[in-house]
Amino acid sequence: MEYYAGIDVSLESASVCVLDATGRIVREAKVASEPEVVIAWFRGLGLAVARIGLEAGPLSQWLYVGIREAGLTVELFETRHVRDAFKAMPVKTDRNDARGIAQLMRLGWFRPVHCKSLPAQETRVLLTARKLLQTKNHDIEMSLRGVLRGFGLKVGPTTPRTFPGRIRELVAGHPTLSTVAEALLAARSTLFEQWQKLEKRLRSLAREDRRVRLLMTMRPPTSS
């Protein structure tokens, strides 16, 4: 007889449910959300699990990779598909979610999704962090412009290098504004420095990728 499993993953623990081919629950447990713990639990079952299901998400990707590398058959589910399937569930708990995922595996009612490779995940993290630092740097600049505008002080056009000097020039002789400006400029300086470090790293990665180098040769469209 074939067996099917569902795993509902949370930060600290994972609820696991194993069903037989008739849909009968044969084993349930709550284990630590660590690949080696989950793998050891399945190997200790003494049952040949045909498929293991996980809902796609930040917490499930590393479990998926570990389980797959251990030689077990595992699938990642499309999140919206799982949510739609669980709408009729009267009580939503981790345990019930694990049961529902196991049922979807048994019945074949699932839509597998691709799990990004580790290098792809690392690149995505770099891009996300770079964008965050860039956005916060811009937010501080716009906040400073807004604060000073309220006192009739207009910053005007600047460059990233001339911005601090222009701000200090405007707040000279205003003790409170100087204190606020220096605090925000210090935060901006740190954000800008770290943003440029990530920018340098991403540009280095771009130069090493043939496809990105090809895209970088494209000229922007010209208006007619």
Looking at the fold, whether 12 and 94 belong to one and the same domain comes out as yes
* Host domain of residue 145: 118-216
Residues 207, 152: one domain? Answer: yes
Last residue of a domain, one of 66, 85, 107: 107
Q: Is 90 a member of any domain?
A: yes
Same-domain status, 93 and 142: no
pLDDT digits (tens, 9 = 90+) for 13-47: 899 999 998 999 999 999 999 999 999 999 998 88
How confident is the model over 122-138, as pLDDT tens digits?
898 999 999 999 999 99
Angle, in degrees to the nearest 10, between helices 118-149 and 163-171: 30
DSSP-assigned beta bridge partners for residue 55: 77
Residues 87 and 128 in one domain: no
- Quick one: 144 and 53 in the same domain? no
Last residue of a domain, one of 107, 139, 156: 107
Average pLDDT of the chain to the nearest whole number: 88
Q: Using CA atoms, how far apart are residues 66 and 72, in angstroms rounded to an integer? A: 9
| Residue 114 pLDDT class (50, 70, 90 cuts) | confident
* Within a domain: 122: yes
The stretch 58-63 carries a mean pLDDT of 83
Query: Do 93 and 149 share a domain, yes or no?
Result: no
Give the tens place of pLDDT for each residue, 204-218: 988 888 888 888 888
CATH number at residue 88: 3.30.420.140
- Residue 143 in this model has a pLDDT that exceeds 80: yes
Residue 179 lies in a domain: yes
Are 10 and 103 members of one domain?
Answer: yes
pLDDT digits (tens, 9 = 90+) for 99-111: 888 888 888 767 7
Q: How many domains does the chain have?
A: 2
**Whether residue 134 sits in one domain with residue 102:** no
